[in-house]
Amino acid sequence: NAPAEYGIFGRLEAIMLVLSGIVLLREKLSIVKAAGVSVAFLASICLITTWDVSHQALFYGSVYVIGMTVGGVIVKQLLDQKVASPVALLMLRTWTVAASAVGVVLVNGALFHVVRNGIQFTDVLVATATGVTMLVIIGFRYQALTRIQLWEFSAMAPVSAVVSTILLRIGGAELGAGPALAMILIGVGEALVHSRSLLRSRAEAEVM
């Protein structure tokens, strides 16, 4: 069920980032990029309808998305207002570490598992690996906020579903038409969101 659960995380996070960026931070949204966001949404919906999703995963995903959205809005405001870099950096690092620690618990359901079954060495390894991975990913995402708008993360959010699907496929799970279509849609959505930025960067490089 991991791909569907990651799909829920991605979809909820995408919606919250779009609303927060446009409503709270008053960021502009072009027609082309709006189309990219919509395509990414369709990808998440495709994943959600392909697999069964547990209520526990939905709860974990909702809490995770709220935390990530709050962190994104706060960090983006600090960067936009040009707060002294040490302050912004401290805020970014603090929230990144906190979000990673919470993510370990939420994604793995570690607390509930330990209470029911006792702690196992493999559980510690999985939780640690998850925490380190989230730490790196969240750090890179917040760092990218210095160059792009908050809502643009909406197209990036479902990418974890693609990663999860690929890992399951490597592990021997079957990849049906639904997940394959979702992966294609996610790629198309991200391409649309970043198309103008890529063209602008290429044009600037040619001028130089």
Banded model confidence at residue 184, pLDDT cuts 50, 70, 90: confident
- Please measure the distance between the N-terminal and C-terminal CA atoms of the chain and give it in whole angstroms: 49
- Rounded Cα–Cα distance for residues 121 and 75 (Å): 36
Nearest to 146 by CA among 85, 80, 204, 207: 80
Nearest to 155 by CA among 55, 49, 30, 60: 30
Residue 139: Cβ within 10 Å count: 16
For the record, the structure tokens of 198 come out as 């890529």
- pLDDT, residue 161, reads 56
Number of structural domains the chain divides into? 1
The residue-averaged pLDDT of 6-24 equals: 66
User: How do residues 106-163 score in pLDDT, each as one tens digit?
Assistant: 555 555 555 566 666 666 666 566 556 665 666 666 666 666 676 666 555 555 556 6
Place of tokens 């197209």: 155
pLDDT at 182 over 60: yes
| Crossing angle of the two packed helices 55-80 and 121-144, in degrees rounded to 10 | 30
| Crossing angle of the two packed helices 2-19 and 177-207, in degrees rounded to 10 | 40
Q: Say how far residue 31 (Cα) sits from the centre of its chain.
A: 22
Please give the C-alpha separations between residue 119 and each of 98, 131, 132, in angstroms, as whole numbers.
22, 17, 19
DSSP sequence for 8-33: HHHHHHHHHHHHIIIIIS-----HHH
Please give the C-alpha separations between residue 75 and each of 79, 135, 160, 208, in angstroms, as whole numbers.
6, 16, 22, 32
Nearest to 132 by CA among 153, 154, 107, 152: 107
User: How do residues 41-83 score in pLDDT, each as one tens digit?
Assistant: 777 667 666 655 566 666 666 676 777 777 777 777 776 666 5
Q: Is the pTM of this model over 0.75?
A: no
Mean pLDDT of the chain: 64
| Crossing angle of the two packed helices 121-144 and 110-117, in degrees rounded to 10 | 170
- pLDDT, residue 201, reads 45
18 lies in which domain range?
A: 2-207
DSSP structural state of residue 150: G
